[in-house]
Amino acid sequence: MSIQINLPDGLKISDFELSMLLAAKLFDEGLISTGQGAVMVGLSKPAFIEMLGKYKVSVFQYNIKEIEDDIANA
């Protein structure tokens, strides 16, 4: 799928950065996998995972209850 987005004049953002921002948000929301995100931005899966960290997105999708359960079962 392709989309067209009208951005404000003078916005200094590369196509890669815009794609990465979108992929990071979609991954963070649980809408795509790391593999899908990697394909979306043209990176390997390990490189995409590394980039997620630069965008402050964790690859660990645990909620508090899951973490507490893991600790209790350790």
37 belongs to a structural domain = yes
52 belongs to a structural domain = yes
6 belongs to a structural domain = no
CB count within 10 Å of CB 45 equals 14
Cα distance from N-terminal residue to C-terminal residue, the chain = 43
Query: Who has greater pLDDT, 1 or 54?
Result: 54
33 belongs to a structural domain = yes
| Number of separate domains in the chain | 1
Spatial distance between the Cα atoms of 11 and 52, rounded to a whole number of angstroms: 22
At residue 8, does pLDDT exceed 80? Answer: yes
Give the pLDDT band of residue 3 (cuts 50, 70, 90): confident
Which of 60, 25, 58, 18 is CA-nearest to residue 42? 18
4 belongs to a structural domain = no
pLDDT at 62: 67
Per residue in 21-70, pLDDT (tens digit) is 999 999 999 899 999 999 999 999 999 999 999 999 988 876 677 777 77
Kindly report the pTM of this predicted structure: 0.77
53 belongs to a structural domain = yes
8 belongs to a structural domain = no
* Structural domain span for residue 51: 15-72
